Chains A and B, each alone.
Chain A
Amino acid sequence: MDVNKSKKHSEEVKITARGVNVFYGETHAIKDVDVDIRNHTVTAFIGPSGCGKSTFLRCLNRMNDTIDICRVTGEILMDGKDIYAPDVDPVQLRAKVGMVFQKPNPFPKSIYDNVSYGPKIHGLAQNKDDLDHIVERSLKRAALWKEVKDRLHEPGTGLSGGQQQRLCIARAIATAPEVLLMDEPCSALDPIATAQIEELIDELRKKYSVVIVTHSMQQAARVSQETSFFHLGVLVESGKTQKIFTAPEDERTQNYITGRIG
């Protein structure tokens, strides 16, 4: 089925979700979702507000664990291993599955400390040189290095919104994750900062598998190769982005992406 499959990267499945259900107390938020997240691929989750796309995204690095009334059933495998298995440490998991949120949320610390925090607590750096190296590499990968290299010890909160978001991306990739989850990473940014983040997402795809939740269909169309459409907690349709935006199979997808009353 993958006729235009790129030969450059192996795009084997990184995360497999099967029969995933999420309950918030009595509310059945996610209903029997099956989806595959591929390596070196940007997967976009789209759908109206409250459709469950963010909830599902948060299952992928067990962010929902932090909510008491939240219950997740079904199977989510990363590289064939169940991420909800009792022996999996969620903190270790989150180092491998990084996350970037809607609003940039740098720590109230220096730019340097923001990026070095993760590698430090996960013991990824042997010494100061190592850490400097990780900080520089992460900031470069997040396309922020040039703008901040002379003021690494100034507070991260002093940066512009777009720079803060790229700082958060640098922070997320500093722990060398394999998957990067982005929950509406551009919704608080202007078009230029958005374009920079989108360019960055395309760049990040070379190393990571990226999952992005977005309300902007144009953004999903621009940055992703695979798109999944959620509606009322159900995964309605999943497939090549090009196909979803030109000729979706399901009428609900069609109505949503063309802006018709569903």
Chain B
Amino acid sequence: MEKTHIVSRFDKELKEIDKQLQHMAELVTQQLADATEALSEKDVKLAKRVRKGDRKINDLEDRIFELTTRLIALRQPMAEDLRSAITTFRVATDLERIGDYAKTISNRTSILAEEKPIKSATNTIKRMSIVVQAMLGEVMEAYAERDLGKAEHARLQDEDVDQMNSALFRELLTYMMENPRNIEASTHLLFIAKTFERAGDHITNIAEHVHYLVTGEQFENGETELE
């Protein structure tokens, strides 16, 4: 795998696409971190910045599509190179979706800023966010290093995210029953938690793309996704 192509431009182009993809992942991770901070600190300005920042991620996705399409058209990649090109497409799509989630979280943050805070729920969401960010970091490392072990490790952490989401759901349900005035804030928080849970699913997808990239076979999961 470390062998270089006879046509060195080919290597450069593949590297450039990988670089853009890693950059996209860094931006997405930052967006998640910022969205979470804006939420817990009721920082409406930061939330607004996150909303604006999504544009950059979408542009990067377009850029990666363009570079990959050009690579396929002009270089006709084969085998590992072909899988790499296809995987780039798929990973970029998942990253873009996670980016969208950061944006929707920020939309809700602006509304939540007006409400009475529900401290413990916010803390759970913060924890979810940290796990999701760590998963994303790990899965992108797995992608860069073609490391199946890391991909699998990242994938398995999704269970923690799912569990936190279910726990939070029960907790917020209690709050809502206690006092109907908690319902609006709780509903927004539920949606936000759900968003992190979805982000975790997309990271799971990326881990599965890495599996395909490395082995040439589609990842087969015994258990099926619940939603």
Contact = CB atoms under 8 A, between A and B. Distances in A.
Interface residues of A, number: 18
Contacts of B26: none
A97 B28 CA distance: 61
Interface in A40-96: none
Interface string A231-262: 00000000000011111100001110111111
B6 A247 contact: no
Given A258-B81, A259-B10, A247 B216 contact: yes
A259 B216 contact: no
Contacts of A258: 5, 77-81
B35 to A, nearest CB: 38
A244 B83 CA distance: 12
Contacts, number: 45
Contacts of A259: 5-7, 10, 78
Interface string B68-102: 00000000111111110000000000000000000
A218 interface: yes
Nearest to B81: A258
Interface residues of B, number: 17
A76 to B, nearest CB: 30
A257 B217 contact: no
B3 A246 contact: no
Given A253-B79, A259-B6, 19 more contacts: A217-B78, A244-B79, A245-B79, A246-B82, A246-B83, A246-B216, A247-B83, A247-B215, A254-B79, A258-B78, A258-B80, A258-B81, A259-B5, A259-B7, A260-B4, A260-B5, A261-B4, A261-B6, A262-B3
Interface of A: 217-218, 221, 243-248, 253-255, 257-262
28 contacts: A218-B76, A243-B216, A245-B79, A245-B82, A246-B82, A246-B216, A247-B79, A247-B80, A247-B83, A247-B216, A248-B79, A253-B79, A254-B79, A254-B80, A255-B3, A257-B78, A258-B5, A258-B77, A258-B79, A259-B5, A259-B7, A259-B78, A260-B5, A261-B3, A261-B4, A261-B5, A261-B6, A262-B3
